[in-house]
Amino acid sequence: MACLRRLSEALRVPVSSLLMEGPQANLQPVRRGQGFIFKRHNAGSLVVEEFLHMHGAARMQPEVMFIPAGSDSGEPLAHLGEEFLYVLSGCVGLQYGGQQELILEEGDSVYFDSTVPHRYRNPDLTRLARVLVVCSPPSF
């Protein structure tokens, strides 16, 4: 995946455009559990991202992020565009720029400029957090 990421950055295209075929004129649902899975290992924990649609011409990138109890998404990242976060279950801390961490509970959401470095953290030491994340334009 690291190689694909570097290639996509060099070509200035989303990673998804390297993985998918040309434009598709009809609806193509992604069935439960059939999204593109990306696993991010960080300090002994495993954050799993399930991309709900990978289409090269898409203007947004929806995914569900699974953050284990007490884990985080790794080093803060900044990327072009905007991001929307909705907590499906559990609790998530959003570390955004130099601001104090914002704690979001199930049903909470936030929309922000993703050019500011940010990362996610699950402060709950007992429960998995599930988060819907939508980036526009796609960053992966």
The contacts of residue 100 (CB under 8 Å, 6+ apart) are none
* Predicted structure pTM score: 0.73
Sheet with 109-113, strands from edge to edge, namely 36-42, 45-51, 61-67, 129-136, 82-89, 109-113
How confident is the model at residue 16, as a pLDDT? 60
How confident is the model at residue 139, as a pLDDT? 73
Q: Could you read off the pLDDT of 10-21 as tens digits, one per residue? A: 666 666 666 655
- Round to whole Å and give the CA distance between 2 and 10: 12
How confident is the model at residue 97, as a pLDDT? 94
- Round to whole Å and give the CA distance between 140 and 126: 30
Nearest to 78 by CA among 44, 39, 112: 112
Could you list the beta-strand ranges (E) of the chain. Answer: 36-42, 45-51, 61-67, 82-89, 91-96, 102-105, 109-113, 118-121, 129-136
Sheet with 118-121, strands from edge to edge, namely 102-105, 91-96, 118-121
List, for the chain, all residue ranges whose pLDDT scores fall below the cut of 70. 1-8, 10-27, 42-44, 50, 54-56, 140
